[in-house]
Chain A
Amino acid sequence: MLGAAGALLCLACGMAAGSWMRERRLARWRMLSAWMEAISGMRVLLEQERPSLPELLQSAAECISSGTGAQQAAQRLKHTACCIASQPLLSVTDAYASACCKITATWEKQEERAAMERLFRQLGSGTAAMREQAAAACLRRLKPLEEHARMEAEKGGKLCMQLGMLLGLMAGIALW
């Protein structure tokens, strides 16, 4: 019906869909890894230097490596820092919520979102030890999520690609 060109087009579409699914999984893994890098950096800063909150978030953002997912995490930290610096009466939780609205990450799941919101709620008050403890607790919460996301990205990502290609091929053959 569609001919050879149509079949090839279906195959390409299937592969693109598979690739998109894979990229989403990779992005989630990168974002979780980025959060963990940033929070580890925060812990050291809280313990050693005790900077102001905007400085802490800016420095933590600089610990993050590049790549889709990681970039969004860094941008959120920077945006939160800017919000607090420009509107000092804004709470840390509100500043982070504003950053989440501005810098969206569709691959982000409720578990990590809740963990980060909880961290930002705790970062806004208490002693240095309490804040450092909050960061450590958040790391513990994110660790299994990151492990799971890595597995999903490595195994599931490959599977998505193969499945996309297969479905595209089948659709192409059926429509030929």
Chain B
Amino acid sequence: MNWQETISFFGNCMPKSIGRALASQQEGTVREIRMRAGGRGSLLTHKGELVCTGLMSQGQIAQTAEALCDHALYARAEEQRQGFVTLRGGHRMGLCGRVITQGQSVRALREISSICVRVAGQWHGAADELLPHMIDEDGRVRSTLVIGMPGMGKTTMLRDACRRLSEAGIHMCVVDERSEIAAMCAGVAQLEVGPNTDVLDGCCKEAGMRWMLRAMSPDVLVTDELGSTLDVQAVQEAARSGVAVMATLHGRDMETALSRGMLYQLVRDRIFERYALLDTRQVGRIVSICDEQLRPLASKEAV
């Protein structure tokens, strides 16, 4: 999906004031689109926030959410429970509203009152700095984990690395649980992941990685946002079978990421050979790259 198609998609699905504001923006400048019931829509651009005219009702917000999901929000209940839904083109729509709970778990989301769309972008060259560290002397791909805060470019970097390695003839297999890496639509990747890449779309990481190992004999497995012990087990299984894994993890820095326990387990078992930590302020900037024992290989002073 190019920028014109993105503008057309959002323009059709969102209130006119937002559509007009979007139409005047250049590619790569819009990072977020926000809408609230009883409030005005706004675009978060590189230059700052651009507030649109016209107040929006709750009905309009709900209708917009439905439209953005191609009228299939009902089929995305599991994603909704996690608070966001991935849209056509790989954009991510965060939702707020009235949560219906059962015990401690979220059952459903009703009366959607706020939407935050994070605009996905293809950034060629996002992994330039990372790639030299990912290939060893024998030309083998090293298992790599990208750690960073939300919105700092982890997935963009992962996608670019996948594309570049795939173009180099390495057989990449993507387990795209939330359709954010390849943004598959009718069997075609909307974002470039390379010519030598197979994508398993919408499948949970644990089952997906096993599936890929069994069915597609990958050189490298790519997946986004490790979040549970089951994900870690699947990564361990892949690594033990000799397949390199590229993944991302939420974390402000190594210490906070290690405190989650999951990273500690991965470091202890030396599953990943490289860890790339992203800056907390500048999108896509690597502040340090560490080896399998978390010893820094290259570091930069944060801006």
- Check if A110 is an interface residue, CB within 8 A of chain B: no
Q: Find out whether the CB atom of A53 lies under 8 angstroms from the CB atom of B13.
A: no
Contact of A91 among B63, B64, B74, B75 (CB under 8 A): B63
Q: A88-145: which have CB < 8 Å to B?
A: 88-89, 91-92, 124-128, 131
The answer to whether residues A127 and B64 also contact, given A87-B12, A88-B12 and a CB cut-off of 8 A, is: no
Whether, in the assembled complex, A148 has its beta carbon less than 8 Å from a beta carbon of chain B, the answer is no
- B12 with A89: CB separation less than 8 A: yes
* A173 CB to nearest B CB, Å: 62
| Complex CA–CA separation, A128 to B69 (angstroms) | 14
Q: Does B70 contact A (CB under 8 A)?
A: yes
Interface band, chain B: 10 to 19
Name the residue in B13, B74, B75, B108 with the highest tally of chain A Cβ atoms < 10 Å from its Cβ: B74
Q: Please, which residues of chain A bring their CB within 8 A of the CB of B75?
A: 50-52, 128
In the complex, which residues 51-76 of chain B have their Cβ closer than 8 Å to any Cβ of chain A? Answer: 62-64, 66-72, 74-75
Known A84-B71, A88-B71; judge A127-B12 contact (CB<8 A): no
Looking at the assembled complex, report how far the CB atom of B82 sits from the nearest CB atom of chain A, in whole angstroms: 16
Assuming the contacts A87-B12, A88-B13, A89-B12, asked whether A127 and B108 have C-beta atoms less than 8 A apart, the reply is yes
Residues of chain A with a CB closer than 8 A to B266's CB = none
Other-chain residue from A52, A127, A128 in contact with B71 (beta carbon distance below 8 A): A52
Is B77 an interface position by the 8 A CB rule?
yes
By a beta-carbon cutoff of 8 Å, the part of chain B in contact with chain A is: 12-13, 62-64, 66-72, 74-75, 77, 108
Residues of chain A touching chain B, judged by Cβ–Cβ distance below 8 Å, are 50-55, 84, 87-89, 91-92, 124-128, 131
The 10 closest A-B pairs by CB, nearest first: A88-B67, A50-B75, A53-B71, A52-B72, A52-B70, A88-B13, A52-B71, A128-B74, A88-B12, A89-B67
